[in-house]
Amino acid sequence: MNETKNIFTVIADNAGHFIALVLLIAAAFALTAIAEKMARKREEKDGIRTEEVFSTRHLAIIGVFSAISFVLMLFEFPLPFAPGFYKFDFSDIPALIGGFAAGPLVGVMIEFIKVMLNIILQGTTTGFVGEIANFVVGAALVVPATVIYRFKKTRKMALISCLAGTVCISFVGASLNAFFLLPAYAVLFGSGIDSFIAAGTAINPAVTNLFTFCALCVAPFNFVKGVADSVITFLVYKQLSPILKAQTTQIRKKVDVEQSAV
């Protein structure tokens, strides 16, 4: 009972930040849904047959990759140029691969289910603020990368999309920490933002305020995360792509045969 009360107290104390983060989640889903619809219309106009957004294959990808993403989320470690409370993991890679294979909406769903699994199985110590922020930061990488690739699926565009996602996660991660996360955590832990800045100063003397903390600690952290996730995704997807394309081709042929029979 006390634990539940404490969680609701934390949410109440961070109501503004909590609502803002929930709105960002809604924006991520809305953006990907719009992009998916536009891409499908363009393909239909060009005479290209596409699967339904939530086809059996896409649902299978969401389920399997969400589980993998959740497991990868458990293996986290700090980086030397950021305070130890920032943990690096590779849980965004399955969302990137799934998004490249099945569209941006699938990638965002993988990110969302990963976080939900973490809340259900691991619980929350941040009144859900940290978990929601994890989704928003992950989506900042996955959404631009998969949306760009959705419109033109070439190796060059995959590289460009990953670069765009890396830039986006660096900017969004730093901004999110400056305006939402650090103020929310200051309320949660009752330690004040100065304690976070002090942790950054201990690593890098150039960190003297919130801006330099986010610019010299948070942004590089997310930049490295974006680069690492992008490189691994680029290499892994290259191996998986023939299998995924073969499955898609079989589905399209099946649809063509059924329509010809009619």
2-261 CATH pick, 3.30.930.10, 1.10.1760.20, 2.40.50.140, 2.60.120.10: 1.10.1760.20
* CA–CA dist 53, 32 (Å, integer): 11
Structure tokens given for 67: 């589980």
How is the chain split into domains, by residue range?
2-261
* CB-based contact 104:150 (threshold 8 Å): yes
Structure tokens given for 55: 């086809």
The single-letter DSSP state of residue 78 is: -
Token pair 């460009």 is at which residue? 160
For residues 5 and 221, which has the higher predicted lDDT (pLDDT)? 221
pLDDT in tens, 88-140: 999 999 999 999 988 899 999 999 999 999 989 988 777 777 888 899 999 99
* CA–CA dist 155, 174 (Å, integer): 29
Query: Sign (positive/negative) of CA torsion 160, 242, 229, 137?
Result: positive
* CB-based contact 96:229 (threshold 8 Å): yes
Please give the mean pLDDT across all residues of the chain: 83
Token pair 């419109």 is at which residue? 151
Q: Residue 1: how many CA atoms within 13 Å on its side-chain side? A: 0
The whole-number pLDDT of residue 9 equals 61
Q: What angle do CA 77, 208, 184 make, to 5 degrees?
A: 60
The whole-number pLDDT of residue 77 equals 92
Helix axes 56-74, 93-102, angle to 10 degrees: 170
Structure tokens given for 10: 């934390």
Terminal-to-terminal C-alpha distance of the chain: 61
Burial 207-242 (b: 16+ CB within 10 A, else e): beebeebbebbbbbbbbbbbeebbeebbeebeeebe
| pTM listed for this prediction | 0.84
Q: What is the mean pLDDT of residues 214-241?
A: 91
Structure tokens given for 206: 């150039």
The whole-number pLDDT of residue 151 equals 87
Would you list the DSSP string of 130-153?
A: HHHHHHHHHHHHHHHHHHHHHH--
For residues 11 and 136, which has the higher predicted lDDT (pLDDT)? 136
Q: Give pairs for 252-259: CB < 8 Å, separation 24+.
A: 252/49, 255/49, 256/49
pLDDT in tens, 148-198: 998 888 888 989 999 999 999 999 999 999 988 888 788 777 778 899 999
* CA–CA dist 62, 45 (Å, integer): 27
